[in-house]
Structure 1
Amino acid sequence: MKRRSIVLSLLAAITAASAPSVWSAPVVLTIESWRNDDLPMWRDKIIPAFEKNNPDIKIKFAPTAPAEYNAVLNSKLEAGTAGDLITCRPFDVPLQHFQKGRLLPLNDLKGMDNFAPVAKTAWTTDDGKTTFCVPIAAVMHGFMYNKEAFTKLGITPPATVEQFFAALQKIKADGKYVPLAMGTKDTWEASQLAYQNIAPNYYKGEEGRQALIAGKAKLTNAQYLEPFRTIAKWKPYLGDGFESQTYPDSQNMFTLGRAAIYPAGSWEIAGFNKQAGFKIGAFPPPVQKAGDKCYISDHPDIALGINAKSKNAAAAKVFLEFVASKEFAKIYANSVPGFFSLQKTPVEMTDPLANEFASWRGKCESTPRLTHQILSRGTPNLEDELWIKAAAVMNGTLTPEAAAQQLQKGLDSWYKPAN
């Protein structure tokens, strides 16, 4: 009996040692995010695709309302209660988290070589040495238009600024449609959908953005001033009372067929496809004259990092390797059309409008928004100030020259270029 008892004990020990996953619970990883509208995609597509090949790791997607995300996440990180994986907005906020030791470095993560350095810029230290979030997607700026309206009026998508204003004038003269569906009440539209939309064609994308960061150029220089002059000329083509028109008002004006052109962010694609009763086309920001090289605001928008205090960092790295994969990129880009993969290899997409936007990458040079890296770290915050000044320029209450001067004065008050 004694010998039999010893044998049974040994067999039990060997079984337990050789098959721990049978008895231990799976690791559960929690993702912090502001994209609460993405919950169905994560629940129905991304998580099942990952867990199919990683049954010992379970994913919990736990989003916070977008406007509350930064504050809530910061509180959780300080209290040590944040999830294992942190969804990263671009540039300075996640950089601050990394500098405070809240995010792990990811240079050696498998799959990071799927991204070119420029794709990782928004989640890499200023010296370019350390990347701390895996890039997921970017959004683009351009113009959407009502194809039926263009056909009725005999208008083709404009390629130059002159053609753009000629189209606006023709739409206005016809009287059936508001030429441009845009208001200035929410101010951010005047910055991101007007100025930051068209400006890269004037300051030549990365050349102009880097010159401003390096202190080799000023916002009062012609290449930054001219976009203000251009959007000031939009005023006659905006709807009546555009000064009190909100972002949702502009969306509705376009999708209900009351406006012909919508200064757009690609994030609108999925919603507009469902809401509009007409076919939508898109064209990139017009160049100043025929033959000019084109530049687009191709702005890194979302990435994913690891909470440095996570007790499941090894499992989190396994999940981020999946996020860096081509499989993830294809699922994401097709689940939320208008959010474009940042991987080197183009992702095949099924949405025609998304493909139209994506095609611009093959024709134009990409650049992030002008004010998002380094230049908005002080007070006054250049990004916030641009919202206000761009809206005032479009309202006609501030001249383009005064706007540029005030922005540069505010930047000079705190920013001392490193170069």
Structure 2
Amino acid sequence: MTRTITKVLLLGASLFSYAGLASAQDVTLTIESWRNDDLAIWKDKLIPAFEAKNPGIKLDFQPMAPTEYNAALNAKLESGSAGDLITCRPFDASLELFKKGYLGDLTKNAGMENFSDVAKTAWSTDDGAQTFCVPMASVIHGFIYNKDAFDALKIEVPKTQAEFFAALDKIKADGTYVPMAMGTKDLWEAATMGYQNIGPNYWKGEEGRLALIKGDQKLTDADWVKPYEVLAKWKDYLGDGFEAQTYPDSQNMFTLGRAAIYPAGSWEISGFNTQAQFKMGAFPPPVEKEGDTCYISDHTDIGMGVNAKSKHPAEAAKFLEWVSSAEFADLYANALPGFFSLNKTAVKMADPVAQEFVSWREKCKPTIRSTYQILSRGTPNLENETWVESANVINGTDTPAVAAEKLQKGLDGWYKPAK
């Protein structure tokens, strides 16, 4: 009898200790994010996939309004109340958090070898020696077009600038469609969809971008002026009143079937899919002449880092290793067509337009927007000035040469390349 009681007590004690151990291991990681539009994707796809393979680790995705994120996150980090995992904006905002000691160093974390140096640029120190966020996704620039319009007018997808302008001339002569949907009122649209879209083919992507940072090239050099010379010719194809046309106006013009071509960022794909009643296709920025190497703006958009003061660093590291995996890459990219994985493992996209965009990585060299790293830290801000001058060139109020001179003069006013 006594032996039976002893067994029961021992069994009870072992069950109690096991239950205590299980609850002690059950850790919840909180994720801070500005992407409040993809809450359902996290809840329905990403979190269940991770938790299924990692019992004992729970994820709590806590997004906030994009416009409030930077200030709110800084306040949380300063007060010690921020979550374990931090969704990282690209470049200076995240670099500043790392310099202040808020983001952990992930340089040697498992999985970081799955990303190229270009992919890691947005979340690395200026010298590239340390990386502090796992690259999650990028957006790619190019052109989305109305396939029905191209078929009706018997237009082939253009590969060179000559073919591109021949297509625009044919669309304009027919008169059924505005050749291209883009306005200059919001300024950034002209720079982002225009200059940064076609420019890499002229300044040779990373080669030119890094040379500009080093001071070996200037914005007044031919490779930097040439994209503006091309943009100046766009004016004749943007339709009446493009100077007063906003970004939403351009989106509507294209999705309503009134324009044949839309200079695009890949983030448009999901929205256009729900709004357009015609078949869509995409093509990369046309090269100057056949046989030229093509370059694409494959711009780093979002990453994930760890709060340096997280109470659960081992579990956070495990999650970030999963974010670095091919499984996460496939789930995330297909849930958000147009936001492409930066993982070296190619992701097959279910959406045909998204697959077309991402296929350009196999034949074109990737780069990021030329103004985003280092060159927009001073006053005047080169990114904002590029918005203004891109609009001015298309509007015809500045020549390409004058625009380039203004940009270089502004940069010279505060930026001294490290020698």
- TM-score (norm. length: structure 1): 0.95
Q: Distance in 1 between matches of 2:397 and 2:77?
A: 42
Aligned to 1:226: 226
Q: Distance in 1 between matches of 2:412 and 2:2?
A: 86
Aligned to 1:180: 180
Q: Distance in 2 between matches of 1:305 and 1:2?
A: 57
State the 1:17 CA deviation: 3.8
Q: Mean Cα displacement is larger for which, 211-220 or 47-56?
A: 47-56
Secondary structure class of the residue paired with 2:372: coil
Query: Is the CA contact (8 Å cut-off) linking 2:22 and 2:56 kept in structure 1?
Result: no
Aligned to 2:35: 35
Q: Distance in 2 between matches of 1:228 and 1:318?
A: 46
Q: Distance in 2 between matches of 1:26 and 1:248?
A: 46
Query: Is the CA contact (8 Å cut-off) linking 1:232 and 1:393 kept in structure 2?
Result: yes
Query: Is the CA contact (8 Å cut-off) linking 1:31 and 1:60 kept in structure 2?
Result: yes
Q: Distance in 2 between matches of 1:37 and 1:6?
A: 57
Aligned to 2:409: 409
Q: Distance in 1 between matches of 2:103 and 2:74?
A: 12
Secondary structure class of the residue paired with 2:375: coil
2:166 is the alignment partner of 1:161: no
Amino acid at match of 2:183: G
Amino acid at match of 1:339: F
Secondary structure class of the residue paired with 1:322: helix
Aligned 1:104-123 pairs, distance under 5 A: 104-123=104-123
Aligned to 1:142: 142
Aligned to 1:306: 306
Amino acid at match of 1:62: Q
CA-to-aligned-CA distance 1:269-310 (integer Å, 9 cap, x gap): 111112111110111001111211111111111110001122
Secondary structure class of the residue paired with 1:260: strand
Q: Distance in 2 between matches of 1:409 and 1:390?
A: 16
Secondary structure class of the residue paired with 1:308: coil
Aligned to 1:335: 335
Aligned to 1:359: 359
Secondary structure class of the residue paired with 1:233: helix
Amino acid at match of 2:143: F
Aligned to 1:96: 96
Amino acid at match of 1:32: E
Query: Is the CA contact (8 Å cut-off) linking 1:139 and 1:299 kept in structure 2?
Result: yes
Q: Mean Cα displacement is larger for which, 114-123 or 133-142?
A: 114-123
CA-to-aligned-CA distance 1:236-281 (integer Å, 9 cap, x gap): 1112211121111111111110000000001111111121111101
Aligned to 2:192: 192
Q: Distance in 1 between matches of 2:23 and 2:211?
A: 59
Q: Mean Cα displacement is larger for which, 78-87 or 279-288?
A: 78-87
Query: Is the CA contact (8 Å cut-off) linking 2:231 and 2:393 kept in structure 1?
Result: yes
Q: Distance in 1 between matches of 2:303 and 2:166?
A: 40
Q: Distance in 1 between matches of 2:372 and 2:210?
A: 12
Aligned to 2:274: 274
Aligned to 1:206: 206
Secondary structure class of the residue paired with 2:236: helix
CA-to-aligned-CA distance 1:315-357 (integer Å, 9 cap, x gap): 2112111111111111011101111111111112211111111
Measured on the aligned residues, the alpha-carbon RMSD in Å equals 1.9
Aligned to 2:26: 26
State the 1:12 CA deviation: 5.2
Amino acid at match of 1:198: I
Query: Is the CA contact (8 Å cut-off) linking 2:185 and 2:245 kept in structure 1?
Result: yes
Aligned to 1:217: 217
Aligned to 2:65: 65
Secondary structure class of the residue paired with 1:155: coil
Over 3 Å counting, the alpha-carbon distance change for 1:15 and 1:210 in structure 2 is same
Q: Distance in 2 between matches of 1:339 and 1:35?
A: 12
Aligned 1:40-55 pairs, distance under 5 A: 40-55=40-55
Q: Mean Cα displacement is larger for which, 277-286 or 395-404?
A: 395-404
CA-to-aligned-CA distance 1:109-139 (integer Å, 9 cap, x gap): 2211212222212111122221110111111
Query: Is the CA contact (8 Å cut-off) linking 1:143 and 1:284 kept in structure 2?
Result: yes
Q: Mean Cα displacement is larger for which, 32-41 or 208-217?
A: 32-41
Aligned to 1:284: 284
State the 1:2 CA deviation: 11
Aligned to 1:126: 126
Aligned to 1:376: 376
Query: Is the CA contact (8 Å cut-off) linking 1:21 and 1:56 kept in structure 2?
Result: no
Query: Is the CA contact (8 Å cut-off) linking 1:136 and 1:341 kept in structure 2?
Result: yes
Secondary structure class of the residue paired with 1:129: coil
Residue correspondences, number: 419
Q: Distance in 2 between matches of 1:99 and 1:6?
A: 59
Query: Is the CA contact (8 Å cut-off) linking 1:161 and 1:287 kept in structure 2?
Result: yes
Q: Distance in 1 between matches of 2:382 and 2:213?
A: 12
Aligned to 2:261: 261
Q: Mean Cα displacement is larger for which, 113-122 or 369-378?
A: 113-122
Aligned to 1:347: 347
Q: Distance in 1 between matches of 2:237 and 2:134?
A: 41
State the 1:3 CA deviation: 10
Q: Distance in 2 between matches of 1:361 and 1:6?
A: 68
Q: Distance in 1 between matches of 2:162 and 2:351?
A: 30
Amino acid at match of 1:208: G
Q: Distance in 2 between matches of 1:23 and 1:87?
A: 27
Structure 1 unaligned residues grouped into runs of 5+: none
Amino acid at match of 2:201: N
Q: Distance in 2 between matches of 1:393 and 1:120?
A: 33
Query: Is the CA contact (8 Å cut-off) linking 1:88 and 1:133 kept in structure 2?
Result: yes
Secondary structure class of the residue paired with 2:260: strand
Amino acid at match of 1:186: D
Q: Distance in 1 between matches of 2:388 and 2:240?
A: 20
Amino acid at match of 1:362: E
Query: Is the CA contact (8 Å cut-off) linking 2:341 and 2:347 kept in structure 1?
Result: yes
